Amino acid sequence: MNNYKIFGINGPVVTVKGSTAFQMMEMVYVGKEKLVGEIIGITDEATTIQVYEETTGLKPGDPVEGTGAPMNVLLGPGIIDNIFDGIERPLAAIEEKAGAFISRGSAVSALDDEKLWDVTLKINVGDKLKGGDIYATLPETPIIEHRLMVHPDLQGVVTKVMPNGKYKLFDTIAVIKDDLGVEHNLTLCQKWPIRTSRPVKERLSPTVPLITGQRVIDTLFPIAKGGAAAIPGGFGTGKTMTQHQLAKWCDADIIIYVGCGERGNEMSQVLDEFSELIDPKSQRPMTDRTVLIANTSNMPVAAREASIYTGITLAEYYRDMGYHVAMMADSTSRWAEALREISGRLEEMPAEEGFPAYLPSRLAEFYERAGRITSLCGSEGSVTLIGAVSPQGSDFSEPVTQNTKRFTRCFWALDKALAYARHYPAINWIDSYSEYFNDLDPWFEENQGEDFIKYRTKIASLLQEENQLMEIVKLIGSDVLPDDQKLVIETARVIRVGFLQQNAFHADDTFVSLEKQKLMMKTILYMHKKSKKIISAEIPISKILNLGIFDKLTKMKYDIPNSKPEMFDEYIKDIDKQLDSIMQ
């Protein structure tokens, strides 16, 4: 490769003067320490490079070396149960080599190339393989089988197959000859450019929900596997906590958590929590199916911009094996701020609030990589994207939130007032929405019955009605309301406190199955319907409230264990008994 010299340096942006042979988006090494960079602009006078590491100490005249390939990541066994920075450098391996702080130009292999993996070959000599076909498997963790796939751009006939056994990452385990007669070695890994989505056989409709065990999400604002959701909220509203809950409990096979510009202590908390948490499905540590990408707020700003592309590329790799992957991006606002800073260094014309004019297209590029698909090998997989947004001053009209709304079909708006009132998850049931109902209702109907959809609709309408009544109550007080409207307010209070509010630290309340969610709704609505009959018989609501049934219903989430759904029948019998005594 030809060497060129640095002409100018402006933060993470480096320029090279003169005629060059670089390509757009090519990965390059900058300076004597070989800092990783990417070509982001080419003219006949100069080439502009975005450097993903701290540029302190670089000076004009330092060498720039091209690689001839785009910015890519290494894909293979060893990704899961690992923690990387924004450009897939393993932080644990760097710590062993260089101490607690990442030294610049750390040349550590993304994956452990010395570890032996127990490989089982799935092919024979003479087999015809095409891109995406699985040629070997190995146990990556006790609960995740890693399936080695032919690179999507490669096809040919198998000419050599090694026996089953233990192999290192770059060992050749098979050889295939393409149509031109060129032989290609199949190893345990492959490379893929982070800004290019991996090809699929077919994109499928999002007709299966991602079950999270969080009642406000599963019931009122569900998300499909392969869907995209935004969690916007101001400081302290619980974005990170909500994403932690989803990462721990959702029914995805693999979790990829990207801490993009977040505080270092938050990322260390994720590490500590996930290593201690036991996966409810496998009874193994949560880390056995989790990948963490930590790009904290004090790391180079350009690597923050790359981190979500690294995360989504890893997610697509496991999706192509036939896994359902959930990716948490926390937060896309910090990513957009990195875009804005680099755009400013490049002296580009700013758009709204200083963000670059291409912010919407970059957000679309990212969220469009979500989806439920049939992979090239014929298996079904999905990538579900859940992106946190941190609007300054909780202003949802700012550009990142508004543009994110355009490209996601699920919007879980976090409310500062709810968070400060200790109502978690602090998802505002008036401002939030999900556009997946039409896609998911057939699944809910088949698996939970038509009643589930009826109960959900009634619950949502009661909350809407309460919201309108509270406007009147704020003006003239609740005493002037008729009893049937007071009943709506009381029932809505039970829904808010007893159903939507959830305790992440309570063994029975941290995760709730759809069956229990349905029975909770049924019990609350049964109480409402029965009370309405009594009020219509001109019996005052105060008599019903004095029974204490409403207070009892707010506590049923704790009092009824997840393993004893039959206790809901006792609650309904109790409601009948007490309310009938009033009627008599």
Collapsing DSSP states into helix, strand and coil, what is residue 385? strand
Tell me the per-residue pLDDT of 506-533, one tens digit each, with 9 for 90 and over. Answer: 989 999 999 999 999 999 999 999 999 9
pLDDT band at 278 (very low <50, low <70, confident <90, very high): confident
Q: What is the pLDDT of residue 100?
A: 65
- Token readout for 531 is 């009370």
Question: What is the pLDDT confidence band of residue 101, given thresholds at 50, 70 and 90?
Answer: low
Question: Phi, psi at residue 202, to the nearest 5°?
Answer: -160, 140
Residues contacting residue 129 through CB under 8 Å, at least 6 positions apart = 123, 135, 150, 154, 155, 156, 157, 158, 176
DSSP letters spanning 274-328: HHHPBPTTTSSBGGGGEEEEEE-TTS-HHHHHHHHHHHHHHHHHHHHHT-EEEEE
Q: What is the pLDDT of residue 162?
A: 95
User: According to CATH, what is the number of the domain 112-191?
Assistant: 2.40.50.100
pTM, two decimals, is: 0.93
Q: How far apart are CA 236 and CA 240, in angstroms?
A: 9
Q: How long, in residues, is the chain?
A: 584
- The tokens describing 502, both together, are 């959830």
Residue linked to tokens 């006078």: 45
Nearest to 209 by CA among 427, 448, 32, 492: 448
Residue 553 has pLDDT above 60, yes or no: yes
- Mean pLDDT for 112-118 is 93
Calpha distance 269→253 (Å, rounded) = 22
SS3 518: helix
- How far apart (Å, rounded) are the C-alpha atoms in residues 460 and 452? 12
Cα(249)–Cα(233) distance, rounded to whole angstroms? 21
* CB proximity list for 576: less than 8 A, separation 6 or greater: 530
Structure tokens at 491: 């029932």
Quote the pLDDT of residue 304: 85
pLDDT for the residue numbered 492: 96
Locus of tokens 């505002």: 428
pLDDT at residue 219, as a whole number = 96
Q: What is the CATH number of domain 3-71?
A: 2.40.30.20
Pick the CATH number of 449-583 from 1.10.1140.10, 3.30.70.20, 3.40.50.150, 3.30.420.40: 1.10.1140.10
Q: CA-to-CA distance for 395 and 451, rounded, in angstroms? A: 37
Two structure tokens written together for 463: 């909350």
Write down the domain spans for the chain.
Answer: 3-71, 112-191, 203-435, 449-583
Please state the separation of Cα 471 from the chain's center in Å. 36
Token pair in block for residue 129: 């393989």
Is residue 340 predicted with pLDDT exceeding 90? Answer: yes
Question: Most distant CA pair in the chain: distance in Å?
Answer: 96
Banded pLDDT at 296 (limits 50, 70, 90): confident
DSSP state of 85: -
Is 435 within 8 Å of 409 (Cβ atoms)?
yes
Is the model's pLDDT at 266 over the cut of 80?
A: no
Q: Do the Cβ atoms of 82 and 292 come closer than 8 Å?
A: yes
The amino acid at residue 465 is E
Give tens-digit pLDDT for 122-141. 999 999 999 999 999 999 99
Is residue 583's pLDDT more than 60? yes
Position with higher pLDDT, 314 vs 239 = 314
Q: What is the pLDDT of residue 273?
A: 77
Place of tokens 């926390």: 330
pLDDT-based confidence at residue 298 (cuts at 50, 70, 90): confident
Peptide bond into 394 cis (omega under 30): no
Token representation of residue 158: 């198998």
Count of H-run helices and E-run strands, the chain: 17, 27
pLDDT at 148: 97
pLDDT tens figures, 355-370: 999 999 999 999 999 9
Pairing relation of β-strands 290-295 and 82-84? Answer: parallel
Q: Tell me the β-bridge partners of 175.
A: 160, 185
220 three-class SS = helix
Q: What is the pLDDT of residue 106?
A: 66
Question: pLDDT tens digits, residue range 168-212?
Answer: 999 999 999 999 999 999 999 999 999 999 999 999 999 999 999
The string of pLDDT tens digits covering residues 1-41 is 466 899 999 989 999 987 678 899 999 999 999 999 999 99
pLDDT, averaged across the chain: 91
Kind plus residue range of the DSSP H or E element containing 533: helix 514-536
Cis peptide before 482 (omega within 30 of 0): no
CATH architecture for residues 203-435:
3-Layer(aba) Sandwich (3.40)
Please list, in sequence order, all residues whose beta carbon lies within 8 angstroms of the beta carbon of residue 100, skipping any fewer than 6 positions away.
none
Report the distance separating Cα 326 and Cα 385, nearest Å. Answer: 6
Question: Which residues, listed in sequence order, are joined to residue 29 by a DSSP beta bridge?
Answer: 36, 65
Residue 333's pLDDT is 92
**Tokens in use for 313?**
């590329």
pLDDT at residue number 2: 60
Calculate the alpha carbon distances from 360 to 234, 352, 399, 536 in Å: 21, 11, 9, 54
